Amino acid sequence: MIEEGLKNELQKQGVYVTSLQELYNWGRANSVWPLTFGLACCAIEMMAASMARFDLARFGAEVFRPSPRQADLMIVAGTVTKKMAPLVVRLYNQMPEPKYVIAMGACAISGGPFKQGYNVLKGVDRYLPVDVAIPGCPPRPEALLHAIMTLQEKILNQKLTGPDRPRHLNADVAGEFPVPAYGKHDLEPPNNPEVWQPPAIQR
Amino acid sequence: METPEQIKSRLEAALPSAKIEIIANECPAGERSLLVDAPSAFAAAQFLRDDEQLRLDYCSNVTGVDWPDKELTEKVKVKQVVEGVEKEVEEVKKTVRPGFLEVVYHLYSMARKHGPVVLRCRTENRTDRTQLPSLTPLWRGAEFQEREVFDLYGVVFTGHPDLRRILMWDEFEGFPMRRDYVAPDDFEYEPTPHDEVLAEAKKHYPAEAKAEAKPEVKA
Amino acid sequence: MVLVLLAVAAVGFAVAPLAAAWAWAKFFSPQKPGKDKNAIYECGLESKGDAWIHFRSEYYLYGIIFLVFDVETIFLLPFAVAFTGLPPGAFVAMIVFLLLLVEGLVWAWRKGVLNWK
């Protein structure tokens, strides 16, 4: 391991030093391939973000893969209905590690305007570990670009070893998340307690 | 296009057994509709589709409406003897109109370029006798919309080729668009509740509501 | 000798990244197979049956007859572009070619291949 100060000093002299961890994270952060997957109007903004004007390709994330086998990132763009939620979780399970989730828009974060409805999930974070949440209804493509940059920052700061290494490098953490079943009025279970707990009010 | 009265009289001439009623509409559009009794609904719809003058060949919309039991109050003047003097006293008479489910079809004509003719059908009650004839054999486009009405209101369309739930999952119980449908209580903390959500929040977090009700003291 | 060295270098250049990726996956990222993850991909629905299914033999006949139209289109386009400047011989040759293809289609039609069973 090389010290930060020495590294900066060497950089000034024109000598660039890197570590395996940095190289690995640099490669992963600049080739995040999202899954071609849209649920509602947010997906239109996602398409706009990948086109010439906003150009998601600048961040290496323009390769939308039609199969979860080749995707790294799931952009949950739109309203997740209770009928669709098991399918979303199963798609996430079918993605190879390492994988990330961006919850795009008010509906994906919390259910949005449909939160009190009978068929809308109150946020995709009930079943999936969301890395970045974008507010907005729908968020502008710039907001999605910002989310991708935030995710890249997150990937760049991940550690290869140690107790706080990411999930995909930890053999003890399960790779799959339980797929909810259809119940009589709601999904069963209504949330995955490992990922999400009801908010507690602090007084 | 013919007025609803004209259509009604021609329908009654063609189908003597049909009971047809014109439902008034008080909104500015004033679109009146034809209420047809369930047994003759299919024949009436077929008449509307095949009639040379009407040719209503396009069913643009199928809607479900839930009418729960309604208490009607009526003021009746009754003569009573009060303290030896005969007087007219107003009495409030209450009657309960039993609830029913209603299906509304909006029909247009592509051939004659007119419309809409609004056709209504009512079930006998909201619990066990909710059958209505399906108009899918006449207008194929009604298939999914009738399935949706079945899914959300529970109207059973007899003669429908494929009557299954369409929006909710198959295991779902109940009909969520009915007015008396009670969703499972899964209320969650809201930072800024209002209206109905505020009432729910007060029910779930009474202490929080009390704290908010107190006037804030600022130094 | 130089050629052999170059060949080894070329193969090494191609294989080294693959080997590095394989070694990386072997030593750093633990494998986490699972029931859902290994299931056949079916748009997130629960998969039923096998991905390796039989195609009916009629399907291949359709594929071959599709070729008739395909080839026709490829040759018809330049034919149409150069139509006004063509000598009579070339025109006749093209018509003969088209008739041959149409004959194949008519033969298949008469045989009843176009009826989906």
- pLDDT score at B6: 92
B114-159 confidence digits (pLDDT tens): 989 999 999 998 888 899 999 999 999 999 999 999 999 999 999 9
The whole-angstrom separation of Cα A183 and Cα B171 is: 6
The whole-angstrom separation of Cα A56 and Cα A36 is: 14
Number of domains into which chain A is organized: 1
User: Please, which residues have CB within 8 angstroms of residue A143's CB and are 6 or more apart in sequence?
Assistant: A134, A135, A136
Q: Do the domain assignments include residue A26?
A: no
Chain B residues whose C-beta is within 8 A of a chain A C-beta are: 167-174, 176, 181, 183-184, 186, 188-189, 196-197, 205, 207-208, 211
Model confidence at A203: pLDDT above 70: no
**Which of B1-5, B198-202, B211-215, C113-117 shows the lowest per-residue confidence on average (mean pLDDT)?**
B211-215
Element at A88 (helix H, strand E): helix A85-94
Q: Check if the beta carbon of residue B160 is closer than 8 Å to that of residue B134.
A: yes
Q: Which amino acid is at A67?
A: S
Nearest Cβ partner of B169 from A83, A201, A203? A83
Q: What is the CATH number of the domain that holds A104?
A: 3.40.50.12280
Find the residue in B nearest to A198 (Cα). B188
- pLDDT score at A2: 65
Q: CB B167 to CB A83 under 8 A?
A: yes
Q: CB B167 to CB A182 under 8 A?
A: no
Per-residue H/E/C for chain C = CHHHHHHHHHHHHHHHHHHHHHHHHHHCCCCCCCCCCCCCCCCCCCCCCCCCCCCCCHHHHHHHHHHHHHHHHHHHHHHHHCCCCCCHHHHHHHHHHHHHHHHHHHHHHHHCCCCCC
Nearest Cβ partner of C32 from A67, A94, A175? A175
Q: CB A90 to CB C35 under 8 A?
A: no
Model confidence at B21: pLDDT above 80: yes
**Which of B59-68, B204-213, C27-36, C84-93 shows the lowest per-residue confidence on average (mean pLDDT)?**
B204-213
- Joined tokens for residue C33: 């197979």
Chain A CB contacts of B167 below 8 Å: 83, 119
Q: How far is A86 from chain B (nearest CA, A)?
A: 11
Q: How far is A191 from chain C (nearest CA, A)?
A: 19
Full-prediction pTM beyond 0.95? Answer: no
Chain A CB contacts of B188 below 8 Å: 122, 198-199
The residue among A22, A20, A16 whose CA lies nearest residue A158 is A22
A149-185 confidence digits (pLDDT tens): 999 999 999 888 888 888 888 888 888 899 999 998 8
The residue among A181, A166, A175 whose CA lies nearest residue A68 is A175
Chain B CB contacts of A122 below 8 Å: 186, 188
Which residues share a beta bridge with B35? Answer: B21, B120
C82-114 confidence digits (pLDDT tens): 888 889 999 999 999 889 888 988 988 898 877
Q: Check if the beta carbon of residue A30 is closer than 8 Å to that of residue A47.
A: no
Longest dimension (CA), chain A: 68
Q: Do the domain assignments include residue A1?
A: no
- pLDDT score at A142: 94
The residue among A171, A165, A174, A167 whose CA lies nearest residue A192 is A174
Mean pLDDT of A127-147: 93
Q: Check if the beta carbon of residue A5 is closer than 8 Å to that of residue A42.
A: no
Mean pLDDT of A114-131: 90
Chain C CB contacts of A94 below 8 Å: 36-37, 39, 41, 44
- pLDDT score at B150: 94
Q: CB C34 to CB A175 under 8 A?
A: yes
Chain A CB contacts of B176 below 8 Å: 118-119
Model confidence at B10: pLDDT above 90: yes
Chain C CB contacts of A168 below 8 Å: 29, 32
Nearest Cβ partner of B186 from A119, A190, A199? A190
Model confidence at B103: pLDDT above 90: yes
Find the residue in A nearest to B197 (Cα). A116
Q: Do the domain assignments include residue A49?
A: yes
Query: Does residue A98 have a cis peptide bond before it, meaning omega lies within 30 degrees of 0?
Result: yes
Q: CB B176 to CB A186 under 8 A?
A: no
Q: CB C32 to CB A176 under 8 A?
A: yes
Domain range for A77: 31-188
Q: Do the domain assignments include residue A94?
A: yes
SS3 A105: helix
The band of B87, judged by pLDDT with boundaries at 50, 70 and 90, is confident
C27-77 confidence digits (pLDDT tens): 888 888 888 888 888 788 888 888 788 877 778 888 888 888 888 888 888
Mutate to test the interface with C, among A94, A127, A160, A169 (most CBs of C within 10 A): A94
Mean pLDDT of B64-85: 83
Q: What does the mean pLDDT of chain A come to?
A: 88
Separation of CA C15 from chain center? 27
Chain A residues whose C-beta is within 8 A of a chain C C-beta are: 24, 67-69, 86-88, 90-91, 93-94, 96-98, 160, 168-171, 174-176, 179
Model confidence at B214: pLDDT above 80: no
Strands A132-134 and A100-104: parallel
List, in order of start, the domains of chain B with CATH numbers: 4-67+101-173 (3.30.460.80), 183-219 (no CATH)
Per-residue H/E/C for chain B = CCCHHHHHHHHHHHCCCCCEEEECCCCCCCCCEEEECHHHHHHHHHHHHHCCCCCCCEEEEEEEEEECCEEEEEEEEEEEEECCEEEEEEEEEEEEECCEEEEEEEEEECCCCEEEEEEEEECCCCCCCCEEECCCCCCCCHHHHHHHHHHHHCCEEECCCCCCCCCCCCCCCCCCCCCCCCCCCCCCCCCCCCHHHHHHHHHHCHHHHHHHHCCCCCC
Mean pLDDT of B93-110: 91
A88-104 confidence digits (pLDDT tens): 999 999 998 889 999 99
Q: Do the domain assignments include residue A3?
A: no
Find the residue in A nearest to C31 (Cα). A171
The band of C10, judged by pLDDT with boundaries at 50, 70 and 90, is very high
Nearest Cβ partner of A169 from C29, C39, C45? C29
Q: CB C36 to CB A168 under 8 A?
A: no
Percent of chain B with pLDDT over 70: 94
Q: Do the domain assignments include residue A11?
A: no
Q: Assess whether chains B and C touch, using the rule of 3 or more C-beta pairs within 8 angstroms.
A: no
The strand order across the sheet containing B114-122 reads: B20-23, B33-36, B114-122, B100-109, B58-67
User: Please, which residues have CB within 8 angstroms of residue A26's CB and are 6 or more apart in sequence?
Assistant: A18, A156
The whole-angstrom separation of Cα A85 and Cα A80 is: 6
Q: Do the domain assignments include residue A109?
A: yes
Q: CB A186 to CB B172 under 8 A?
A: no
Q: CB A201 to CB B188 under 8 A?
A: no
- For residues B142, B70, B125, B37, the Cα torsion angle rounded to the nearest 10 degrees is -60
Radius of gyration of chain A (CA): 19
Q: Which chains touch C (3 or more CB pairs under 8 A)?
A: A
Q: Do the domain assignments include residue A164?
A: yes
For residues A72 and A4, the model is more confident at A72
Q: CB B188 to CB A184 under 8 A?
A: no
Domain residue spans in chain C?
Answer: 2-38, 58-111
Q: CB A170 to CB C30 under 8 A?
A: yes
Mean pLDDT of A64-80: 92
- Joined tokens for residue C78: 């330049």
Chain A CB contacts of C30 below 8 Å: 169-171
Mean pLDDT of B98-127: 92
Model confidence at B189: pLDDT above 80: no
Q: How far is A184 from chain B (nearest CA, A)?
A: 5
